[in-house]
Each structure stands twice: as C-alpha cells, then as structure tokens.
Amino acid sequence: MPDAIEVRKVPIHSVADASELATLIDDGVLHADRVVAIIGKTEGNGGVNDYTRIIADRAFREVLVEKGAAPEKVKDIPIVWSGGTDGVISPHATIFATVPPEDVTPSDDKRLSVGYAMSEVLLPEDIGRAGMITKVADAVKVAMERAGITDVADVHYVQTKTPLLTLSTIADAKSRGETVFTEDTLHSMDVSNGGTALGIAVALGEIEMPDDADVLKDRTLFSSVASCSSGVELDRAQVVVVGNAHGVGGRYRIGHSVMDDALDADGIWDAIRDAGLELPERPHTSDLSDRLVNVFLKCETSSDGKVRGRRNAMLDDSDVHWHRQIKAAVGGVTAAVTGDPACFVSVSAAHQGPEGGGPVAAIVDLG
C-alpha cells in the first residue's frame, strides 16, 4: 500500500525561486526526502525555447538536495513545468510528498494517491504515432499500479511531460532514414501532447487503440483526465498518475470533470464537487472556504473559431499565437471561480477533453 500524500501549493516569486518549498520543509510540513512530484507554472513564453522550465526545475531540485534529499533520488523526481502564465495566471508549484506512516490516521475512505513512471525512450519518429501511444499507455499502467489504484474510475488526473521535436531531433531521424510527423517545431508541441493523450486514453480504456491517421484529426477521441505538456528537457514520457485509493489515509481527495468550452465555469465547479466538496447549486468562491488546494486544466481554441456561436480571431491572429490567447482566457475564467490566479492552466489540449474545451482536475482538503 502506498503512503498517504501531503499536497501544498506555493507561489514562485521569481523565475529561479524555490524559497517557499524550502519554507515548507523548514517548518516540518513536508520532508525533503519524501517529495514525490511537483507540477507547476513558469512565466516564460510556453514555447519550444521556454528555458524558464529548466531554470525552475534546477531551483527546486537544488532545494531538495540542500534540505537533505539524496541527489540521485532527486534527479528522478518527476517535476513537470508548464510554461506561460499569460493573463492573470500566477507562477506557482503544487508539491506532492508522502507522509510518514506513523503520522497518518488509517482510513478505508478513498484518499489522494500518486504514482509515477517513465516510459521507454521516445524516438523522434515515435512522436504523434503508434510508438508514442503504446509507450505512454504502458507507463500509465505502471504509474497507476504504483499509486495502488486498481480501478481506472479512480484515476482523475494524469500529468505528463514528453519531448517535442527540435531541429536536432528531426535531423537525427532523417539521418537514420526515418520520417517525423511534422517539421514545424512549435506545431510538434500539439502533436506530442495529442499523441500522449491518446496513450493515456488507451491505458484507461477510454478509447480503443487509434490509427496514426487519427492523431490531431479525430477529435472525438480524447481522455477526460489527461493533462499533457511537452518540452525540450527530456527524451521519455514522464507520467504522474493522481487518483484516489482505499486505505492510504490522509486529508486529500481528487476529482475531475471537463469544460465543454472556454467559458464553461460549471465544468470547474463539477470537478470540485467530484473531489468531495459539498457546494450549493449556484456556488460562489466563498463556498470553497480555503478547502481547494488547486485545479489543473487544459484548454484549446475550437477549430471552428467560435465560442458559443460567437466568432473570435484567435486562429487568424499573426501577432499573438492562439496558445497564449486561449490560456489567458481560460485562466481568467478559472481564477474567477477559485478566487486564486495561481491555477494550473495549460494549453495545447489536443485529445484532452472535448474539442474546444478540456479536462479539469481538482484537489480538495477534506480535513
């Protein structure tokens, strides 16, 4: 049985800041050697060359080592950074750590559990194709087992980080006589995220194994719990499965839902309810009573260029990429619900939730 989880959200005061993590450890809230995953937002451009992710990654790992965690173990901790805090979104990190068994009151109720796995190496020619889908699906199953989750219905959030295509990896594939899905490195972010999401959906039985031709084409194929991010910092799929398991104990629980479109605030409220927080029919931020730890969302501009029948210009804008515009819009909707701009909103949601919308996961403190 895995250990119970303590989870805390902390602000990031500058791009290389991890002082709030240090404070949690100094105050005894978390143990450095028990941190199992970190998921956060950094303030870069969110693109291929967003090196704020690497800077933040280094800062958080250095604090863990400084506070006593073994360097070789810290190196393997999954730390997933989503770049880009457009609009009101505030840089922050959500930190997951196990709790010593002697500090946990046992309970048969389902409580938060986290499992982690790394896939096999993803070759450039795998990205967006069956090779990626299969390797990701295998890693999700391993992470789920490590979380002590036996029922796929108890998986509410799967956060991944995968490689995208760069000029050097494209050249590597060509040198071996292989082809790649796209040579547009920014578009490869959508390709990587979409292929990964389909792998999650396959692992959890949400869909059957798709064909390569379905990737980024058939948007009826999606996962309701996938949150996929990609970057230049790794060559495998980093998979964090978050769900609920019997017997682990602890104070926290997770739930999920989907936003049907960029304005669907009810989808966020539904995820919070699914996590176990009782809310009135027409909830208000004040009903959360500081019980919401964080929400995690993916968003996507609808391919028809409309929201609720009204035309927008995001897909036609040559000055500001739609990635940044939809992220800012959904970040505003999310912060209006939670009352906290430190919310995890990530873009490029191909095959993650319904087309034009996206999945929502919420973690609450049940006390």
The residues assigned a catalytic role are 161, 229
User: Strands, E, within 232-273: which ranges?
Assistant: 236-246, 252-259
User: Strands, E, within 192-232: which ranges?
Assistant: 226-231
The answer to whether the beta carbons of residues 194 and 216 sit under 8 Å apart is yes
Q: Count Cβ atoms within 10 A of the Cβ of residue 172 and give its class: 0-12 exposed, 13-18 middle, 19 or more buried.
A: middle
Query: Where do we find the tokens 């082809």?
Result: 179
User: Can you tell me the distance from the alpha carbon of 167 to that of 361, in angstroms, rounded to the nearest whole number?
Assistant: 34
Q: How much helix, strand and coil, in percent to the nearest 5, is found in the chain?
A: 30, 25, 40
Helix (H) or strand (E) holding 271: helix 265-274
Residue type, 29: V
3-state secondary structure of 176: coil
308 C-beta neighbours (distance < 10 Å), count: 11
* End-to-end CA gap in the chain: 22
- Please list the alpha-helical segments (H only) found in 36-124: 52-66, 71-74
54 C-beta neighbours (distance < 10 Å), count: 16
Strands 344-347 and 292-299: parallel
* Cβ neighbours of residue 336 closer than 8 Å, sequence gap 6 or more: 265, 285
Residue type, 367: G
- Residues paired with residue 243 on neighbouring β-strands, in sequence order: 113, 155
